[in-house]
Every structure is written in structure tokens, then in C-alpha cells.
Amino acid sequence: MCAALAKGESEIIHPLSSDDTEAALNVLSLVGIGVHQKEDSWQVNGGDFHKPATDLFCGESATTLRFMTAICSLISGKCRLIPGPSLAKRPVKPLIQALRQLGVNCSCQGEVAPVIVEGGRLKGGTTELPGNISSQFVSALLFISPLADEGVKIRLTTPLESKPFVLMTLDCLERFGIKVEFSPGLEKFEVSKQVYKPTKYRVEGDWSSASYLLALGALSGEVEVENLNPESWQGDKMILNFLRDMGALVETDKNSVTVRKSRLNAIRADLSHCIDLLPTMAVLAASADGVSEFVGIERARIKESNRVSALKEGLEKMGIKVREERNRLIITGSRPKGSVIDTKGDHRIAMAFSILGSVAGETIINDAECISKTFPQFWDVLKSIGGEVEIDGE
């Protein structure tokens, strides 16, 4: 998104090729942004937007839908953003309301997409929105704020959850020449009028995707994951602290993490700022000694699936005792048994239960291809480190 907003050519090194990033590339191409894909880099020609000739289909990528809803406010003419079936259930209204306060003519269908944006000139000014629904709303506003006529002030009406994602956005903006003033608690942001500068951006290894492989090491045997930055802004690097707290044997090098099989103890953890770790932590807790408790989980209900209920259903099928509350999940560890898991089409549910299946054996993951959303090579990686995986009887 930053490269698209920078006039000229930027290079993105080590990009992820997945359903979500393909959705972003497709939508950007429809509004005039050229992307030349090489084997391990993308060249992005940004800064020249035009009105799309057709609807902008965002697939199941909430990031694409929410970021592009904001960016379409800069594009003259009408843009209509269309979601896939799962994304059609996820909220976008708070972002629409915040954009309207900045002078943007936009609307959604009740709380959700489709979204219609009549863009062209972004007035700017002051806007408010909640911080506890999605950090993507905040990031979306930050992307367009430097290009507003008057600059923008953003105030959050509730405390920000998933703070690390906003810190990652601020870091990325800075790499493209954009400075943002913000309060220590990330409840206020102020952005003056500025110009994006094209740059070379190297993408870090993804701690969210790595979490499943690191959990596998703790449950099944030694696993080393390379290309992880321990100094990253990514919130999901908290998996290291959680694994250590549970008694896992963890070694870190400057560019890699090794986890060895060990007896795990129960844990109490607040996942407010790393909510995508809930499925990984839930399967670790299922094999740990004692009763684990996870709080700050309410937003997991509005992800690709209701992850709280999907985890409860899957774990109970595998013989694990689970208690679910609105903002809390309590898991009593024991010996999981093989079962058939309904992933609800959710990539993180599929990957997490494959890890627990490695302990239990004889586990069937239905709709296994949903991992292509963020980690298309997951099953191949699992096989490459000794996982016994059959896909559709292969």
C-alpha cells in the first residue's frame, strides 16, 4: 500500500505470495498501480491512480478491503469494493464513519461490505474511531492522512488492541518518508501533509506463520525456524515468551529460533496484542499439564471464523476439556486423540490443529487448502521436516 502511494518505482524484497497478497495486487492493478513480479521481489510503480472499470474484489483479505477503502478516497470517481463470503461477515462500519468525518463520501451495507467510495479529494481534519475492533482501521487512516489537504488528527475512543500492528504501520510509513506524531499510548495521532518517497523494502519473516512450526518443536521434536527477527515490531514474536513460560526449550540466534520437545506446563496469557496466536496457544495448552487461561480473546470471534468457538469445537472432539466465556478461554490439558476437524475455512484453525494432530495422530483436517490465505507452502513445509501428511489420499 505504501509503495502504491509513492510516485515512482519501489522494490519489495521477499514478498509473500498468497491469496491475501494476490487480492491486494489484483485490486491495486485495477486502480492503475503496476506491479512487476520477479522470483523474489516485486517492482511497484506507484502514485498514479485511476477510477476502476469494474468492482474491486477483495477475496477474503480484510487487510485489502480495509486499506483500499481508505485509499479509494484518493481516487477520483466511484469505487465499489466487494468481499468474499467470509469477509462479508467482518466489520467495516467504524472505518466508514471515521472517513466520513474527514469529508469522504462513502457507505457500507449495515456493518459490513460491500463498500462504495466516491473519492477524489481528501479534505482531512479530525476524526475518531474505536481502537478495540481492528487495528487495520487505524492503519488504513494513517496511510491516507499524509495526502489530505489539511492533514489529519486521529483520536481513539477506546484503548487500542493489537498495538504492534500499528507500530509496524508507523515503521513502514517512516521507511517511505512519512512522519507521524503520536501519543505514548497510541490513542492520538497527528499527520501533516507529506509526500511518499519510493524505496526498497525488505519483508521480514512472519512470526505468525512461524508460531505453528515453533509449537510443533515444543510438542513433537526439534524444529529450527530461520529468517526470524527477534527485534521485530511483530506482536506474534510473543510466542517465544509464551513457550518459555510453558517450560519449552527455546534457543534464539540472531536470525533463527530452535525449539525442542519438552514437558509443557499450563499458562495464563493476555492475547489482546497478539490475537492471532490464540489457535497456536490453544493447541499448546491442550497438551500441557494443568489448566491454561487465555484472556483478551473477544476479537478472535470476528476473524475468518469465530475462532473461539471453532477451537472449542475442535478441542472437545479431540477429548480436551474447554470452557468458553465472552473474553476468556480455559483449557484443561490432557492427552489429545485423533479426530476430524472442521476448520470453518480458517487458515489459522487448519494450521493449529495440524500441529495437535502431530501429537494425537490419525487427524483429518477438512478444507485443508484454506492455508493458502497466508501460508500456501505449509503442508509442504510440514512434510519436509518429517510430518506424515496425506493430502486427498496422495
Convert the pLDDT of each residue in 92-124 to its tens digit.
Answer: 999 999 999 999 999 999 999 999 999 998 999
Distances (CA, A) of 375 to 77, 114, 235, 285: 35, 26, 18, 23
Is residue 390 a part of any domain in this protein? no
Closest CA to 239 of 266, 219, 210, 205: 210
User: 274 and 164 share a domain?
Assistant: no
User: 191 and 287 share a domain?
Assistant: no
The answer to whether residue 236 is catalytic is no
Instruction: Choose one of 161, 176, 202: the last residue of a domain.
Output: 202
Is residue 391 a part of any domain in this protein? no
The pLDDT, as a whole number, for residue 121 is: 84
Total count of residues recorded for the chain: 394
Task: With H, G, I as helix, E, B as strand and everything else as coil, classify residue 67.
Answer: helix
Cell 488528527, located at residue: 153
Is residue 236 a part of any domain in this protein? yes
pLDDT-derived band of residue 225, with 50, 70 and 90 as boundaries?
very high
- d(Cα 180, Cα 299) in Å, to the nearest integer? 27
Average pLDDT of every residue of the chain:
97
User: 268 and 135 share a domain?
Assistant: no
- d(Cα 316, Cα 311) in Å, to the nearest integer? 8
Is residue 393 a part of any domain in this protein? no
Instruction: Choose one of 202, 236, 261: the last residue of a domain.
Output: 202
- d(Cα 194, Cα 178) in Å, to the nearest integer? 7
Residue 307 has pLDDT above 90, yes or no: yes
User: 194 and 240 share a domain?
Assistant: no
Q: How many structural domains are present in the chain?
A: 2
Is residue 394 a part of any domain in this protein? no
Instruction: Choose one of 186, 202, 218: the last residue of a domain.
Output: 202
* Residues in contact with 207: Cβ distance below 8 Å, sequence separation at least 6, in sequence order: 228, 232, 234, 235, 236, 237, 239
Q: Convert the pLDDT of each residue in 76-88 to its tens digit.
A: 999 999 999 999 9
pLDDT (average), residues 223-235: 95
User: 179 and 33 share a domain?
Assistant: yes
User: 96 and 144 share a domain?
Assistant: yes
Is residue 168 a part of any domain in this protein? yes
Q: Convert the pLDDT of each residue in 196-214 to its tens digit.
A: 999 999 999 999 999 999 9
User: 125 and 233 share a domain?
Assistant: no
User: 92 and 176 share a domain?
Assistant: yes
Is residue 275 a part of any domain in this protein? yes
Which of 20, 236, 276, 342 does the annotation list as catalytic?
276
The pLDDT, as a whole number, for residue 360 is: 96
Cell 512472519, located at residue: 206
- Write the CATH number for 295: 3.65.10.10
User: 271 and 236 share a domain?
Assistant: yes
User: 108 and 194 share a domain?
Assistant: yes
* Exposure string over 290-307, b if 16+ CB within 10 A, otherwise e: eebbbebbbbbeebbbbb
What does the DSSP assignment read for 267-306? -EEE-TT-GGGHHHHHHHHHTSBSEEEEES-GGGGGSSS-
- d(Cα 102, Cα 384) in Å, to the nearest integer? 50
- d(Cα 244, Cα 113) in Å, to the nearest integer? 41
CA 85 to chain centre: 18
Q: Convert the pLDDT of each residue in 128-179 to its tens digit.
A: 999 999 999 999 999 999 999 999 999 999 999 999 999 999 999 999 999 9
User: 182 and 254 share a domain?
Assistant: no
Phi, psi of 330 (to 5 degrees): -120, 125
The pLDDT, as a whole number, for residue 392 is: 81
Is residue 277 a part of any domain in this protein? yes
Q: Model-level pTM greater than 0.85?
A: yes
Q: Please give the residue range of the domain that contains residue 157.
A: 2-202
Q: Is there a contact between 271 and 301 (Cβ–Cβ < 8 Å)?
A: no
User: 90 and 172 share a domain?
Assistant: yes
